Structure 1
């Protein structure tokens, strides 16, 4: 949907969308989701504390039919053999607690599930978004991104003709930047919900890749070696990006870095998945610099180039996408800059457990 855009002042950390003239002010006022435009508060938060997480997918495993929530669907179709399912005919907003548990299990098994025709879900607003997300885990407050005023738990992505509040590196020859959201946290996200409130007529798709499949394509000997490794994931570069005056010039919580296994095990399905990403993984612990860089470059290239492990989501109005950050990576495609259209998305990001090493006994504290 093409939209009239409004500019954004990048002068103060308390940023809101600010019109340059009366025409842009009217465009903002008339925009259906103007109450969900990016806001950058002055709030500061202490370090995140560990918590016990029980994945709701565990409860669904005990049910006679853990896919009963799909019984009313008018259509389900696999996006690819390895990753992704598209569903129509189900109203996510009406799922009860058991239905949400089943949904968590389905996303864990397929990695990615795309629900069409979800205007009811999207239009229920940020109070509902928080209630929805809390079913799946403790809600993450992003340290640097914009959020709707008063709702820091709702992470926003935003770009229009005059501004962007995304973590984008302009010096690259490509806009793809594979990552698993905030993997630098001690307890990174599990099931994540994302939708676009406004999108360009064409472009702005999202690519996903199965980290289960990228791992399986490697040789058994190499996988056995990777299971012995752990890597540092860092949020410092993202924080520095904001401190430089970009994105919103706000860092609400001091950046952290944590050590995670290079191969992790899903707590519900038991599947093993590669767990490195170019955006946040910095080095492999215990290896010399050249060794670490060589292995990570190979893995990053493998993730980037393995189109046979990937699925592409083309956004249509009222689409809601859920993925499991533990077993997938993703990247937005910023191929619509020249059109000046708005791409405005909201993400609900529950945290999960500390990544479980695929290799029993791997010490993540050393």
Structure 2
């Protein structure tokens, strides 16, 4: 917290830092980003679209271990560096279905990781990222509840990476190079599950809304707290509050507390209350949640279109360093004819039952 401008202005009455609006902070007010705001573009077809739905090539070498019913799978007996293009496509499909897939003891280097992830599309660049190919991810040892008093971005909250972009990321991969023995875990929540957990009436309501995603709060905080310069000016985008995943065709909630500040169609008080509900909804989603304990050489690959995540803050002293690569995705869209994961599962179950009944009836009607 040493970089915070508010730390330089202490109240003589309370002895605590004075809360300063960012516009009065010259580090923020006078900064000129070097790059322009991105324009929308149309990425190549998602690699998961080319995968065998049964993933036979991938599962011929990998053992699958589902960590929860609805989110998170660990693949064993596998090295990412050795996967064929077909197996990489099937991995993308598994990630799109399960939200996040984990690996232990990987032999990837940074160069190998970058090359591998270029298979999935054009590499994205975080606003604070200096290297075009990857960003270094550190730990979180700050008290984010305290920081929020002095800088506007809720940096410890659930988020999908840079969801404010016109083309937000699709896949992200994080590989851990240094890590403490305890602490520094990362957690993910399924946005398929968050949508399914809503009442039918709430689903119909949210289906018609646009969430206001903004980088402004992070922009201010990058300058003030991190002491570095964002690459691009701040941006506000209105994305569907429920999006349709282009590969699975499933509905996923597209709201996160890290970057969403409201809902375009609602009045201020309505918007604030709905955002407050979604903060509760995400934080109470234990049945759609998975938490990963990192080790050196461990890797997680996730789909930002159907999960949110956050690093769990801690007080560990040992260094934590990860390398993250990310690729651009499509501009979020909502197809009113798409279905939720629960609706699809129900339809598949009914189809199976009807098929079994049909087979039984056919056997009964066959003459002896």
Please state which band the TM-score falls in when normalised by the shorter chain. Answer: 0.7 to 0.9
Q: Distance in 2 between matches of 1:52 and 1:58?
A: 16
> Which residue does 1:116 correspond to in 2?
104
> Which residue does 2:296 correspond to in 1?
317
Q: Name the CA shift for 1:85/1:309 in 2 (closer, same or farther; >3 Å).
A: same
Q: Distance in 1 between matches of 2:40 and 2:127?
A: 17
Kindly state the Cα deviation for residue 176 of structure 1 after the two structures are TM-superposed. 4.6
Say which of 97, 103, 118 aligns to 1:134. 118
> Which residue does 1:4 correspond to in 2?
none
Q: Distance in 1 between matches of 2:86 and 2:173?
A: 17
Q: TM-score, normalised by structure 2?
A: 0.77
Q: Name the CA shift for 1:169/1:103 in 2 (closer, same or farther; >3 Å).
A: same
Q: Name the CA shift for 1:155/1:175 in 2 (closer, same or farther; >3 Å).
A: closer
Q: Distance in 2 between matches of 1:43 and 1:306?
A: 38
Q: Name the CA shift for 1:190/1:343 in 2 (closer, same or farther; >3 Å).
A: same
Kindly state the Cα deviation for residue 301 of structure 1 after the two structures are TM-superposed. 0.8
- 1:233/1:281 contact within 8 Å kept: yes
SS in 2 for 1:192: strand
Q: Does 2:77 align with 1:70? A: no
Q: Distance in 1 between matches of 2:234 and 2:177?
A: 29
CA RMSD of aligned residues (A): 2.6
- 1:139/1:349 contact within 8 Å kept: yes
> Which residue does 1:349 correspond to in 2?
326
Say which of 201, 204, 207 aligns to 1:224. 204
> Which residue does 1:104 correspond to in 2?
92
> Which residue does 1:93 correspond to in 2?
81
Q: Does 2:170 align with 1:190? A: yes
- 1:196/1:346 contact within 8 Å kept: yes
Kindly state the Cα deviation for residue 43 of structure 1 after the two structures are TM-superposed. 8.8
Q: Does 2:38 align with 1:58? A: no
Q: Distance in 2 between matches of 1:312 and 1:243?
A: 30
Kindly state the Cα deviation for residue 67 of structure 1 after the two structures are TM-superposed. 3.9
Computing the radius of gyration from Cα coordinates, the structure with the larger value is 2
Q: Name the CA shift for 1:43/1:286 in 2 (closer, same or farther; >3 Å).
A: closer
- Per-residue CA deviation, residues 291-324 of structure 1 (Å, 9 max, x unaligned), is 0111111112101111111001111221110111
Number of matched pairs: 306
> Which one is further off, 151-160 or 284-293?
151-160
Q: Distance in 2 between matches of 1:87 and 1:248?
A: 38
Kindly state the Cα deviation for residue 172 of structure 1 after the two structures are TM-superposed. 5.5
Q: How does 1:3-42 map to 2 (within 5 A)?
A: none
Q: Name the CA shift for 1:114/1:262 in 2 (closer, same or farther; >3 Å).
A: same
- 1:88/1:117 contact within 8 Å kept: no
Q: Distance in 2 between matches of 1:64 and 1:319?
A: 26
Kindly state the Cα deviation for residue 130 of structure 1 after the two structures are TM-superposed. 2.5
- 1:111/1:327 contact within 8 Å kept: yes
> Which residue does 2:258 correspond to in 1?
279
> Which consecutive residues of structure 1, in runs of 5 or more, have no partner in the other structure?
1-8, 12-41, 362-366
Q: Distance in 1 between matches of 2:140 and 2:312?
A: 14
Q: TM-score, normalised by structure 1?
A: 0.78
Q: Name the CA shift for 1:10/1:131 in 2 (closer, same or farther; >3 Å).
A: farther
- 1:89/1:117 contact within 8 Å kept: no
Q: Distance in 2 between matches of 1:176 and 1:143?
A: 17
SS in 1 for 2:78: coil
Q: Distance in 1 between matches of 2:195 and 2:288?
A: 10
Structure with the larger helix share: 2
Kindly state the Cα deviation for residue 219 of structure 1 after the two structures are TM-superposed. 1.0
Q: Name the CA shift for 1:291/1:324 in 2 (closer, same or farther; >3 Å).
A: same
Q: Distance in 1 between matches of 2:335 and 2:187?
A: 26
Q: Post-superposition, which runs of at least 4 consecutive aligned residues in structure 1 deviate over 6 A?
A: none
- 2:57/2:86 contact within 8 Å kept: no
Kindly state the Cα deviation for residue 275 of structure 1 after the two structures are TM-superposed. 0.6
Q: Distance in 2 between matches of 1:271 and 1:224?
A: 15
Say which of 312, 315, 326 aligns to 2:305. 326
> Which consecutive residues of structure 2, in runs of 5 or more, have no partner in the other structure?
5-31, 339-368
Q: Distance in 1 between matches of 2:140 and 2:304?
A: 27
> Which residue does 2:15 correspond to in 1?
none
> Which residue does 1:171 correspond to in 2?
147
